[in-house]
Amino acid sequence: MVYWYWGTLAMFQVGGKPWKTWRDALKTALLDHQRRDGPFAGSFDPAGPWGPDGGRVYSTALALLTLEVYFRTRAEIRPGTSPRRR
């Protein structure tokens, strides 16, 4: 999960076709692993080397942070953009 988060942040900074390819594959990979049953619906099972230590909350938090990189990253740090003036 940590790899997916940092990889997504890096690919977002790269932008263009590499970002779109990464984003589409990531959405499929993550959403396919989201629980849809019972009391765990909407969460993610612990995965990766730190998943068992962090548990379900850790894995779900990282998955959601990963999926929202492009919604919460400021445009000022995207390649090819300049800071917005207020």
Mind listing the pLDDT tens digit for each residue in 63-81? 989 988 877 766 545 555 5
| C-alpha closest to that of 26 among 6, 40, 43, 41 | 6
- Which tokens in the block code for residue 60? 């779900």
Mind listing the pLDDT tens digit for each residue in 28-50? 888 888 999 999 999 988 877 87
Q: What is the pLDDT of residue 21?
A: 95
- Which tokens in the block code for residue 10? 């890096």
Greater confidence (1 vs 21) lies with 21
CA–CA separation, 29 and 34 (whole Å): 9
The share of the chain scoring above pLDDT 70, in percent, equals 84
Number of H helices, E strands in the chain: 4, 0
* pTM for the model: 0.72
Q: What is the pLDDT of residue 14?
A: 84
> Do residues 33 and 47 make contact, with C-beta atoms less than 8 angstroms apart?
yes
- Which tokens in the block code for residue 39? 């009391």
